[in-house]
Structure 1
């Protein structure tokens, strides 16, 4: 119960990595507020079945107002906020030379601008509460490597990582820790079409030293650690959770 009675906000918490993170936090005793874009009934039911409080806020993280709504929901239902997991993100794969402006802008607005808005809103609340806190951004292995059809996406994930480095400096004086988690290839809705080719799946499994692609639940443990007091002296750091993919250059 590493997060007993803490309140955690998770953006994009209705499916994929966000859902797994929200459930993992609840398993460790946290109450959870999630943002979602469509529906969150299944995630809410799973958290409540664990005996923890759950609140869903429908909204677009690219809208700064959504960040304020999330903080207000945490305050109204649970009295404050202890942890933020900025997870919401999109990756509409597309070639570079004919990338539509709208695709580029939307990816930036959701992945990077949205992370900034919610981090700023939560940090202000944590500062006012006076008891510190933990902010975790879900970056990506894509912050470290390129992708032919991800020229709009990889810069946002590098930006999210950089945001955590800078906010770690800006917020350390308030006892607020800021770190990023960098998932490798995780099987989620965001890449299910890209990984529908069995040959591509076999290629990745061969490249990954642990022999398999990740599941969303693999990210949950890393987030719980960074959110907990076990990581009390960890800030400005990044945790690569990729089964060894990044280091396997041979």
Structure 2
């Protein structure tokens, strides 16, 4: 059963990791998919090839989500290519691990601009297009378990993920009258480019795995089902919600 048949889905930060898995998963469920990516041209091309291998159409649009105009350009090119926007998956994010006391201003501000500002302007651009179309839509933002718990080397990152979660709560209220649903996903530790260096240490990885009741760290593909569900009509009465996708890590932290 293809849950996104006939829909146009936009995914930010989709050349690798969760975004890539979400983009390909959306195509497997019948959607045409437009991806945003920052710099990895070959990875973006490979993602589009995987989308097209499902029989769906794909388009890659390069751009830095930290720049507000990137969002407008991304949505405009999606509409030009496929005629509409039904779903926005806001996924782009960075987490350059660093201690708090000597956090470089540039690292803090770049993390804020990509994760929080980028989410705001992408969601706003997609919502404006959905309102103009007049038939509603779905926005899914990838937040993090870090919206709920702290991290010693993530003092710049965790506030952005709490902000993304809060943004979905507020936009759910602001956009409900337009039949636009807004929900967030809170992944636990998912093996992606963001944390591959941090988890290259075998002892740390084993420790992290020991905290997960399901006994393993997550893979990007573990996010596909929850994203597709929230994007689909199966979640027609779900808005302003947050879904933990963490193998049970959060409830096992005490």
TM range (shorter): over 0.9
Q: Which residue of 2 aligns with 1:174?
A: 178
Aligned counterpart for 1:156 among listed residues 155, 160, 166:
160
- What is the correspondence of 1:60-79 to structure 2 with a 5 Å cutoff? 60-79=64-83
Residue 212 (structure 2) pairs with residue 208 (structure 1): yes
Partner of 2:4: 3
CA drift at 1:184? 0.2
**SS of structure 2 residue aligned to 1:240:** strand
TM-score of the superposed pair, with normalisation by structure 1:
0.99
Measure, in 1, the Cα distance between the counterparts of 2:220 and 2:237: 26
Deviations 1:21-55 (A, max 9, x none): 00110000000011111211110110011111101
- In 2: Cα distance, 1:201 partner to 1:249 partner: 16
**TM-score where L is the length of structure 2:** 0.97
1:190 is aligned to 194
Deviations 1:75-118 (A, max 9, x none): 11111100000000000000000000000000000000000001
Matched, 1:97 2:101: yes
> 2 CA distance for matches of 1:88 and 1:181?
13
What is the 5 A alignment of 1:106-117? 106-117=110-121
Mean Cα deviation higher: 198-207 or 232-241: 198-207
Q: List aligned pairs for 1:52-67, cutoff 5 A.
A: 52-67=56-71
Distance 1:163 1:249 in 2: 25
For residues 112 and 170 of structure 2, the distance between their equivalents in structure 1, rounded to whole angstroms, comes to: 18
**2: CA distance between counterparts of 1:204 and 1:249?**
11
Which consecutive segments of 4 or more residues in structure 1 shift more than 2 A? none
Counterpart for residue 235 of structure 1: 239
Q: CA RMSD in A?
A: 0.6
Question: Could you tell me which residue of structure 2 aligns to residue 35 of structure 1?
Answer: 36
- Which of 82, 86, 98 matches 1:82? 86
- What is the CA distance between 1:249 and its match in structure 2? 3.0
2:8 & 2:49 partners in 1: Cα distance? 17
**Deviations, residues 9-31 of structure 1 (Å, cap 9, x unaligned):** 10001100000000110000000
Tell me how far 1:168 sits from its aligned partner: 0.1
How many Å apart are 1:73 and its aligned residue?
Answer: 1.4
